[in-house]
Each structure stands twice: as C-alpha cells, then as structure tokens.
Amino acid sequence: MIPIAKPSIGVEEKKAVQEVLDSGMIAQGQKVKELEDNFAQYIGTRYAIAVTSGTSALHTALLACGIKEGDEVITTPFTFTATANSILFCGARSVFCDIDEETFNIDAEKIEGKITSKTKAVLVVHLFGNPCGMDRIKKICDKHDILLIEDACQAHGAEYKGQKVGSIGDCGVFSMYPTKNMTTGEGGMITTNSADIDKKCKIIRNHGQDGRDNQVLLGYNYRLTDIQAAIGVEQLKKVEGFIEKRIANAKMLNEGLKDVKGIITPKMQAETRHVFNQYTVRVTEDFKISRDELIKKLKDAGIGAFVYYPKPIYRQKYYLTLGYDDNLKMTETAAKEVVSIPVHPNVTKEDVEKIIEIFI
Ligand SMILES: Cc1ncc(COP(=O)(O)O)c(C=O)c1O
C-alpha cells in the first residue's frame, strides 16, 4: 500500500516526548515556547503563537484581527471547510471568490469584484503547498485598506519571491495535523509581525485572560501541550528534508506524466517554491478513462488517491441552509477534475514508477 499521507516520526520525536513526560510538566510550557521561537525564526516573523489545531489557529487569528458579526471576509470555496467555517465562528460572512485555473488558488483578478463596504479581510489559502500570487493580492488589500490573512495550513516552507508564506500578510496560519508537511499530532500555529495580534492571540487561546485572573475578553482553551510541542521541535528540524523529498517526488511525477494525454500536471513556477503537501493533477475529458475509473485503478493497485475537494464549500449542505447559492466556473471544473496522488517523503522512486504505470 502507498498511502496518500504518512507522517515521518523518528526516534528523536519519541525521545523528546519521553523527556517531557518524565519532567512532569506536560501542559503548555517551555517546549511550546521553544517551538514558537523556532517556528517564528523559520517563517521569518517576529512572533509565532501555538494553538491546538489549524482550525483554532484560524479562529484565533481572525478574532485577533477584529473580525466580527456583520463583517465579510473574501476567501476561496476550493479548500478544506475549516477555512470558511472559521469566518462563520466569528459571526462574519464568507464571501466566495473563484479560483485560478493553473494553481487552484483564489483568482487575484476576481477579488476586487467581491469587495463591499462590509469587507474586512481577504483570507487566502496556499492550496496544496502552492503559494498564491501575493504581490497582486497585497496590492488590492492595501488599496482597499483591508486585512490579508494567509491560510498556510498546507504550506509550511512554501515561498513567494523568496519570502516564506505566513510572513507576507497581516498574519499566517498553519496546521500540524499528521497529513501536513510537519506534525504535532494535532496542532496549529499563527505567525505575525504585529505585536498587537500576537498579544491578542495569546489572550484568546487562554480563556481571554491577560495574565492570571484578569479576563479581558471572551476566549477559549486553545493551548498546545508540551508533549505535542516536543514532537514539533524535532519535526521542525527535519521539515526542510521532508520538503526537498516532496519536491523531488513531484518532479519525478511531473516528468513521468508530462506526455499523458488528458492529464494536466502541477506547474512549478520560478518565483515560487511549491512544497507539495499534495500532488494534484487534473483529469480532463481527453484522458482515456474517467477520473472515478482512474481512482479505482489506483486504489486496486494499492495506491492512495483522493479528491481534494469534490464539493465546493458553498455546495455543502450546511452552507445551503445559510443561503449560499454560488456557482463559480473554475471551482466547479476543479471539483470535477482533480485527484491527488502520493508525494510524501516516504514515497520511494519505485513507488513513483508504480504510480506512473497506472496512468500510461
Ligand atoms: C487549508 C486548510 N485550512 C485549515 C485546516 C484545518 O487544520 P486542522 O485540521 O489542523 O484543524 C486544514 C487542515 O486540513 C487545511 O488544509
């Protein structure tokens, strides 16, 4: 079996967890602080705030940015549902913008058409580890005086013009779920250069308390444990190696699939570093069999193949009850055509050859 995702946990992570367990200090403490400091340095921001998941990181970041009832936040409907849900958590409305044909990221050229007097932020997603065109998007946000928040949950280590994603907008958000480029089991991180956002995030993750017995707003328990952080500290040391392996596997897949009629492979652009949290192709009508038949063939051969994402968020049952009725052209096409295949660091050259065989 070649699974679609497999975390790489070594003796270092096990030893680090053992040390924390033996110390008796297992809740948020020194290890969380160490992970935050190292993560901020890696991304290139002044601050990093660890929380329990990518979802709670999104919620915390949006609250810290002041997103509230009556506000609108422009985002992509072609993402994991947590992106849009986090906007709803704040009582705001997710406004969906169509995606780009090549990257499946939010289409920068369509953002301005979605801006109203209620728009407070644009929440971009660097989907599959591929950075959005940040220059254009930042320019639009600056022009309209709205915040830019980066959902980099799938994009640890991705770069846009030499700058790590998560350090370009007002704040960035990462997930450390086991399918991501580095993991803490469950976990999340917010990155920012703003002292104000940093302070608010730290208050929000700890019941709204600014120091002991001093509750200043409505907060949550979104604290990461030192047990999880110990795994994260070791994973962060290895993340560049994991990413290089992902990129090498993606290059082999691109080479092997480049002449297959009806398959559109992901592009690697000179100005960005795509870190391939997922390797996703489009299966068009010109391919010899349908996407579903291809997935069945891959699965029968023991190869994990998944559709991220088969249904745009605005078509989810819950979103229909909220009155969403979007029908965005490229989003619809992508949902019908994409399939992701294994690219993670545990995929070998032989595995890649086996995968390519199925397509030819
Ligand atoms: C784009 C995106 N945003 C948010 C999340 C939520 O992260 P988590 O699962 O850690 O809550 C994910 C996780 O799958 C994601 O892929």
Q: Let me know whether 214 and 338 are in one domain.
A: no
Quick one: which atom of ligand 1 is closest to the CA of 82? Answer: 4
Distance 128 CA to ligand 1 centre (A): 11
Instruction: Say if ligand 1 is within 6 A of residue 130 CB.
Output: no
272 and 338 belong to one structural domain: yes
Nearest ligand 1 atom to the CA of 53 is 10
Alpha-carbon Rg for the chain in angstroms: 20
DSSP at 181: S
Whether 80 is in the pocket of ligand 1, judged by its Cβ within 6 Å, is: yes
Residues 183 and 320 in one domain: no
pLDDT bucket at 187, cuts 50 / 70 / 90: very high
Asked if residue 265 and residue 191 are part of one domain, the reply reads no
> CB under 8 Å, gap of 24 or more: what pairs does 196-204 form?
196/64, 197/47, 197/61, 197/64, 197/65, 197/170, 197/171, 198/46, 198/47, 198/49, 200/63, 200/64, 201/49, 201/51, 201/60, 201/61, 201/64, 202/49, 204/60, 204/63, 204/64
DSSP E strand boundaries for 93-214: 93-96, 119-125, 147-151, 159-160, 163-164, 171-175, 188-192
Is 164 one of the catalytic residues? no
Separation between Cα atoms, residue 124 and residue 96, nearest integer Å: 11
Ligand 1 pocket, residue 51 CB under 6 Å:
no
Alpha helices in 44-186 (DSSP H): 54-64, 81-89, 108-111, 134-144
User: Please, which pLDDT band fits residue 264 given cuts at 50, 70 and 90?
Assistant: very high
Give the pLDDT confidence of 124-171 residue by residue, as tens digits: 999 999 999 999 999 999 999 999 999 999 999 999 999 999 999 999
Same domain, 245 and 170: no
Alpha carbon of 89 to ligand 1 centroid (Å) = 15
pLDDT at 296: 97
Residues 287 and 195 in one domain: no
CATH of the domain at 136: 3.40.640.10
128 part of a folded domain: yes
Same domain flag for 81 and 178: yes
Residue where a domain stops, chosen among 219, 235, 251: 235
Residue partners of 72: CB distance under 8 A and separation at least 6: 92, 93, 94, 95, 116, 118, 119, 120
Per annotation, catalytic residue among 180, 200, 202, 245: 180
Position 61 scores a pLDDT of 98
Work out the percent of the chain whose per-residue pLDDT is above 70: 100
Q: How many domains does the chain have?
A: 2
Last-in-domain residue among 182, 216, 235: 235
Identify whether residues 273 and 157 lie together within a single domain. Answer: no
Separation of 62 CA from ligand 1 center, angstroms?
A: 15
Query: Is residue 210 very low, low, confident or very high in pLDDT (cuts 50, 70, 90)?
Result: very high
Residues of the chain with pLDDT > 90, as a percent, come to 99
Amino acid residing at 219: G
**Per-residue pLDDT, 306:** 97
Tell whether ligand 1 has an atom less than 6 A from the beta carbon of residue 331.
no
Cα(151) to centroid(ligand 1), Å: 8
DSSP string, 14-66: HHHHHHHHHHT--SSSHHHHHHHHHHHHHHT-SEEEEES-HHHHHHHHHHHTT
State which residues form the domain around 143: 11-235
Answer whether 52 contacts ligand 1 (Cβ < 6 A): no
Q: Do 96 and 153 fall into the same domain?
A: yes
CB atoms within 10 A of CB 131: 27
Q: Write the single-letter amino acid at 8.
A: S
**CA–centroid distance, residue 82 to ligand 1 (Å):** 6
Task: Examine the domain organization and report whether 283 and 135 are in the same domain.
Answer: no
Pick the last residue of a domain from 235, 263, 290.
235
Give 30-54 pLDDT, tens digit per residue. Answer: 999 999 999 999 999 999 999 999 9
Where residue 260 sits, what CATH number does that domain have?
3.90.1150.10
Q: Is residue 132 part of a domain?
A: yes
Average pLDDT, stretch 308-318?
98
On whether both 195 and 277 belong to a single domain, the answer is no
Residue nearest to atom 14 of ligand 1 (CA): 80
What is the per-residue pLDDT for 112?
Answer: 98
305 pLDDT band, cuts 50/70/90, is very high
What's the CA-to-centroid distance between 186 and ligand 1, angstroms? 10
Per-residue pLDDT, 342? 98
**Residue 5: inside a domain:** no
- Residue 194 within any structural domain of the chain: yes
Domain-located, residue 2: no
pTM here is: 0.97
Q: Is the CB of 124 within 6 Å of ligand 1?
A: no
Which pLDDT does position 17 carry in this prediction?
98
pLDDT at 39: 98
Kindly state whether residue 119 falls inside one of the protein's structural domains: yes
Provide mean pLDDT across the span 185-207. 98
Residue 269 inside a domain? The answer is: yes
pLDDT tens digit sequence for 90-124: 999 999 999 999 999 999 999 999 999 999 999 99
Which atom of ligand 1 is closest in space to residue 176's alpha carbon?
Answer: 10
CA-179 nearest atom, ligand 1: 14
State whether 156 and 35 are in the same domain: yes
Residue 1, in any domain of the structure: no
